[in-house]
Structure 1
Amino acid sequence: MKEILCRVYFNYEHIPRFMTNRMSDWFIKNRHSVVKVYHNHIEEVNKKWELTGAPYSFGDYLEDINPEYVKEIQKTIQPFINDINKKFIFFKFKIDQYGDIVGYIPFIKNSKLWITLEEL
């Protein structure tokens, strides 16, 4: 497996400034377990989706992803992520409207943390 170095950019929506560092540390520390679950189940979702014959997306951009495909991802994978979320109190993981894994704070409406990776 080839190792790739990346710069990580944290993107916050509706996260109080005093919580950003703590949430970023939590996100990076715990994201691996959620990504592992996601990768273990995405193949199953894709096999089901191919049977429908519908496209995965309608264009080249992230925003062009088929909303029905994302609903299928959420319906299949989110229950496994919820099992992981049980061990966390303040921060949780979910799959957003683009099919990405994001962190959020349950008691803050529309809160969201996601990362962008830039290869060095």
Structure 2
Amino acid sequence: DLSRCNGCKACVVSCGIENGTKPDEHRTQVIQTSAEIGNKQYAFNLPIMCNNCEDPSCVSVCPTGATFKREEDGIVVVDSTLCIGCNYCIQACPYSGVRFTNSTTGTVDKCNFCIQRTS
């Protein structure tokens, strides 16, 4: 709910804790910006994460099939055992900042909607 986002980035911190990522590696981000509208300055907070696209370009460019869309719920995930770290999916994603190369595994990492909590 964008109207409730105050830019505190607690979602970013809790995601990192849940998934054990390093402090500078994020599966989600909150972009903070401002704009002048009618001589008034407004601040905006925009949480960014994987949108689990209907037809994800990241899936079609993956040469090993490591990035795929789960049929049961439509979540796009990366199987780190198949990922070769080519970063094609990072380049193909239209939502910059939601994928990164995990410095521990050397493979691509992204938001998986905490499927470990729902599976």
With normalisation by structure 2, the TM-score equals 0.34
Higher helix share: 1
Higher strand share: 2
With normalisation by structure 1, the TM-score equals 0.33
